[in-house]
Amino acid sequence: MTKQFATVVDIAKDIASGKTSAVDVLEQHLSRIAEREGEINAFNLVTTEQARATAQQVDADIKAGKPVGALAGVPVALKDNMCTRGIETTCSSKILEGWKPPYDATVVTRLQQAGAVMVGKTNLDEFAMGSSTENSAFGPTKNPLDTSRVPGGSSGGSAAAVAAGFAAASLGSDTGGSIRQPASLCGLVGVKPTYGLVSRQGIVAFASSLDQVGPFTHTVADAALMMEVIGGHDPLDSTSLPQPMPSLTSVLGQGVKGMRIGRLADMPDGCEPEVLARMDAAYVALQAAGATIVDISLPSLSYCLTAYYLVAPAEASSNLARYDGVRYGMRVETGDLHSMYGATRAAGFGAEVKRRIMLGTYALSAGYFDAYYGKALKVRRLIANNFAAAYEKCDVILTPTSPTVAFPLGDKTSDPLTMYLCDIFTIPTNLAGHAAMSVPFGTGAHNLPVGVQVLAPALGEQTMFRVAAELERAS
Amino acid sequence: MSNASSAPQHRADLPNGWEMVVGLEVHVELDTKTKLFSASPNRFGDEPNTNIDTVTLGLPGALPVLNKHAVELAIRLGLALNCTVQPSTFHRKNYFYQDMPKAYQISQYDQPINVDGFMMLPGDVRIGIERAHLEEDTGKSTHIGGTSGRIHGSDYSLVDFNRAGVPLVEIVSRPDIRNSDQARQYVAELRSILLAVGASDAKMEEGSMRCDVNVSVRKPGAPFGTRCEIKNVNSIRAVGKAIDYEARRQIDVLESGGIIRQETRHWDDGEGRTHTLRTKEDADDYRYFLEPDLVLLDPDQEWIESIRASLPMLPAARRAQLALLTGANKESESVYVIVERGQDDYVSAVAQAGGDAARALVYVQQAFAEEGSSPRVAPKDIATLTQMERDAKITATQAKTILSEMVANGGGDPVAIAAAKGFEALDTSAVEAMVDAAIAQQADAWAKYCAGEEKAMGALVGAIMKASQGKADGKVVTAILQARRAK
């Protein structure tokens, strides 16, 4: 945990008790933004004026003795793929530059209702496609812990904003690791909830069957609180689970005694030795806390990356087809409709987005569907079956979040495949629709943070948070 | 089970023993308050782009939420078409068009909600229904400038998204239709069923019911020929004309040694012919895949049964009932017309009030075209009128006059009207005297009539009716004339 910044829990408590004011807290964060944002580029937009108005309202409500929400006065940042009414939402793409949604995403509404103060919209890999936030049309975000390195991606701006103290917490979206991997690279807690636990309404879709919103925080307790605010059924999202949000803040102290922790017997190659050393330390710590370690295997793990790079681009090719210049966003005027489509999309999308649209369109095409998309769906079922078998033997599974610590900017941009390998440990969770989170657990090479990933079955958040809390205590 | 062999009687319509094979794809807009996946009103004729929202416009982040009422109407229709209602899924059909806001249409693909139904047509012809599935409508484009009203060559296009997202059911028949009469009967019967179950207002002129027609030709017993799909068929009459045109076009091509290419053709109603719209090679690859924003649609059996129990009596059953009551053939025009107008309950009320059901059927068909399903004239008054005519207290012509007056005034006592008009049927001896007088006056006509010229009878009858001031019963007059000639 990055100890130099106040936590969500402390900020909320101090504002509610009158020990400090929302305006003061906000100004501290805004001054840090003023100081370092030029160097970090975490934000596409800092919403200073709206944030000040919200903070003043929170203070006025507290002064008037009105009841306030669980996050009253807490500065939060939102990944710029979440719709905010009247506030530019770009997905870090030129094609949406200037677009102001007429509505708020459900998670945005829930944060507002809890009294959170939105400080800005954070940078991302264009349309959330990437693992380093270098694919942004508005320039890369730097890792606040070492600005020669990437913050991870695609939610790199949201991770950097919290790591740099620009916001006490932020929201990201995770389609194949886009919350957990940057959390790991920036030394933060990052949660990818069970598919359907958090509403996707108002989240600009990348791959609808995989996308899920979750928080970045400094502590596990902060993450639990954020989850309780944003999670739970939403009638506006048909894939939203009907269950009420389970309590997470109340289980953090319950420990891991008697819990069975799964360890991958067939660890894939490519992990830095320091990362593997931290994993060993994590097992030791949990064992010391009363858990047992069991070896499990996920035989289909090696196919997941391939399956993901068919399923996600396929859905993306369909989700991104609406950016045609007809109704909103960018339009390149030409003589006729079809050339307008082509010219607009050629100018509006970056190289990685185009690459994935091509991949996905091909995978769904007549004559290729069965060999590509159809086969990828089979792998999805296989990995789900693998997980089901593993969870007969264990309650959670521990893996590294990322095979490496934060890598230098430009290190992987020339070869998409090496970039795709960043997500080898995170992708299976999205394919299965399960829960997973990254918890900082010491440092590796270059004294940079290493994250341990806790994987749990669908709706296994309570167990997952208990393990995460134990790791946090031991780190 | 198809009924390919049961309708050979029209085969003679086509030259050289050719047989046509026709299947219909009918799109109907469901009569819901709101759209299939959003809360915007489903309403025709509003100002352009007023019934829209984030989902309708396909704004980034907007998600579809299925309209339960649309599902209920789809199930009502499915059950009325004898379909099996099954768990179903939605797919995305991907293609670019400016009135398609998401660049994909959400439609049911390999697991539709209704499958394997059928419809019976006159002559016990059974037309299989392959499926009746849910999907969303597109927006509407208007192309300004140019000559054709099409996008090519136009100056600019206007798009109205009011229709985008309106719930549709597409009803796909099996290729069981063998002539254009059956095709027209099928569309008409489908329309009646849609109205009966309240699924749609089924107005072809407003586009709430739209037909695509698949036509191929073959020699009987041969495998199906290559089919062409005809679009823009916007009336029941056009369905018949388009099919007849297209079948003959295909036969001409085949008989002159050509081959039929699978293609989509456009029906030009003004020219009375079809044109190539696009060939199979230009067809879009729709890249169907399961819509990840929606979940399995699995209506529970209890709900389906409660919908089944709430279905009204369907047109076929009502026609059978009316035929039984009136003694008319259940496939007769009058029975079809009365049931289509929803006036069969009225005829039955007339019968219950002691009226003659067969006469009531005729009266209602003739005089109640504008009356709708609840005519203003009291059934008991129509019952009285049928009795007066049956008992020869008035003539058929007088009955018609009285009926017109009752309808015009929204009711009235036929006895009083008859009295006021001085209507009474003349007795037979008085009519016989008038017949004799007419034969004497119109000797020429009488001679021609006796020589077998039936048309000459008109002049005689006319003279008699004039002399009687309409009080002679036309049927009686005719009978007497025939009897005199036979002597």
**Any idea what DSSP says for residue B177?**
B
**Beta-carbon separation of B292 and A315 below 8 A:** yes
Domain CATH for A83? 3.90.1300.10
Helix, strand, coil percentages, rounded to 5, for chain B: 40, 20, 40
**Beta-carbon separation of B63 and A237 below 8 A:** yes
DSSP string, A242-267: SSPPPP-TTTGGG--TT-EEEEESSP
Cβ of residue A83 closer than 8 Å to a chain B Cβ: yes
Report pLDDT for B310.
Answer: 97
Asked if residue A443 is part of any domain, the answer here is: no
Asked if residue A220 is part of any domain, the answer here is: yes
Report pLDDT for A3.
Answer: 56
Domain with CATH 1.10.10 in chain B: 428-486
Cβ of residue B157 closer than 8 Å to a chain A Cβ: yes
Of A84, A326, A74, the C-alpha closest to A203 is A84
Smallest Cβ–Cβ distance between A318 and the set B94, B151, B295 belongs to: B94
The chain-wide mean pLDDT, for chain B, equals 92
CA distance A360 to chain B (A): 10
Asked if B114 and B76 count as a contact pair (C-beta separation under 8 A), the reply is: no
Model confidence pLDDT, tens digit, residues B258-282: 999 999 999 999 999 999 988 877 7
Of B38, B37, B4, B44, the C-alpha closest to B23 is B4
Model confidence pLDDT, tens digit, residues B122-163: 999 999 999 999 999 999 999 888 766 677 778 888 999 999
Q: How far apart are CA A399 and CA A456, in angstroms?
A: 11
**Beta-carbon separation of A318 and B66 below 8 A:** no
Smallest Cβ–Cβ distance between A322 and the set B58, B65, B66 belongs to: B58
Smallest Cβ–Cβ distance between B63 and the set A201, A209, A337 belongs to: A201
pLDDT at B11 exceeding the cut of 50: no
DSSP string, B339-381: HHTT-HHHHHHHHHTT--HHHHHHHHHHH-TTSTTS-SS-HHH
Q: Helices A48-63 and A22-40 sit at what angle, rounded to 10 degrees?
A: 160
Cβ of residue B296 closer than 8 Å to a chain A Cβ: no
| Location of structure tokens 């939420």 | B65
Q: Count the neighbouring beta carbons within 10 Å of the beta carbon of residue B270.
A: 5
State the amino acid at position A147 in one-letter form: T
How far is Cα of residue B227 from the mean position of the Cα atoms in its chain?
25
Of B46, B67, B74, the C-alpha closest to B163 is B46
Report pLDDT for B1.
Answer: 33
Q: Report the number of distinct structural domains present in chain A.
A: 1
Of B295, B95, B435, the C-alpha closest to A324 is B95
DSSP bridge partners of A127: none
A273 is written with which tokens?
């030795």
**Beta-carbon separation of B92 and A361 below 8 A:** no
Asked if residue A341 is part of any domain, the answer here is: no
**Any idea what DSSP says for residue A396?**
E
Model confidence pLDDT, tens digit, residues B297-312: 999 999 999 999 999 9
Q: Is A257 a catalytic residue?
A: no
CA distance B38 to chain A (A): 9
Report pLDDT for B456.
Answer: 86
pLDDT at B427 exceeding the cut of 90: no
> The domain containing residue A211 runs over which residues?
8-230
pLDDT at B332 exceeding the cut of 90: yes
Domain B428-486, second-level architecture:
Orthogonal Bundle (1.10)
Look up the ipTM and state it: 0.96
**Beta-carbon separation of A205 and B54 below 8 A:** no
CA distance A204 to chain B (A): 4
Q: Which residues contact B29 (CB under 8 A, 6 or more apart)?
A: B42, B137, B166, B167, B168, B200, B201, B207, B208, B209
Model confidence pLDDT, tens digit, residues B370-385: 998 999 999 999 999 9
Q: Is A148 a catalytic residue?
A: no
pLDDT interval class at B7 (50, 70, 90): very low
HSE-CB for A404 with a 13 A CA cutoff? 20
Cβ of residue B289 closer than 8 Å to a chain A Cβ: yes
What are the mean pLDDT values of chain A's consecutive 10-residue runs (475 residues total)? 81 97 98 98 98 98 96 98 98 96 98 98 98 98 98 98 98 98 98 98 98 98 98 98 96 98 93 97 98 96 95 98 93 90 97 97 94 96 97 98 97 88 95 98 98 98 98 96
Q: How far apart are CA B42 and CA B37, in angstroms?
A: 11
Report pLDDT for B470.
Answer: 74
b/e map A81-118, b = 16+ CB within 10 Å: bbbbeebbbbbbbbbbbebebebbbbbbbbbbebbbbb
Smallest Cβ–Cβ distance between B61 and the set A202, A207, A361 belongs to: A202
Cβ of residue A124 closer than 8 Å to a chain B Cβ: no
Report pLDDT for A457.
Answer: 98
- CA-nearest residue of chain A to B160? A327
Of A155, A201, A160, the C-alpha closest to A179 is A155
DSSP bridge partners of B129: B117, B173
Inter-CA distances, A190 with A56, A126, A171, A464, B128, Å: 29, 20, 9, 12, 56
Cβ of residue B57 closer than 8 Å to a chain A Cβ: yes
Catalytic position from the list A21, A178, A240, A317: A178
State the amino acid at position A404 in one-letter form: T
Catalytic position from the list A21, A93, A154, A184: A154
Cβ of residue B96 closer than 8 Å to a chain A Cβ: yes
Element at B482 (helix H, strand E): helix B474-486
**Beta-carbon separation of B61 and A366 below 8 A:** no
Report pLDDT for B149.
Answer: 67
Asked if residue A345 is part of any domain, the answer here is: no
Q: Is A131 a catalytic residue?
A: no
Smallest Cβ–Cβ distance between B101 and the set A314, A318, A327 belongs to: A327
- CA-nearest residue of chain B to A102? B54
Of B291, B299, B227, the C-alpha closest to B265 is B227
Question: pTM to 2 decimals?
Answer: 0.90
Helix, strand, coil percentages, rounded to 5, for chain A: 45, 15, 40
State the amino acid at position B130 in one-letter form: E
Cβ of residue B54 closer than 8 Å to a chain A Cβ: yes
Asked if residue A251 is part of any domain, the answer here is: no
B152 is written with which tokens?
């090519």
pLDDT at B2 exceeding the cut of 70: no
Asked if residue A291 is part of any domain, the answer here is: no
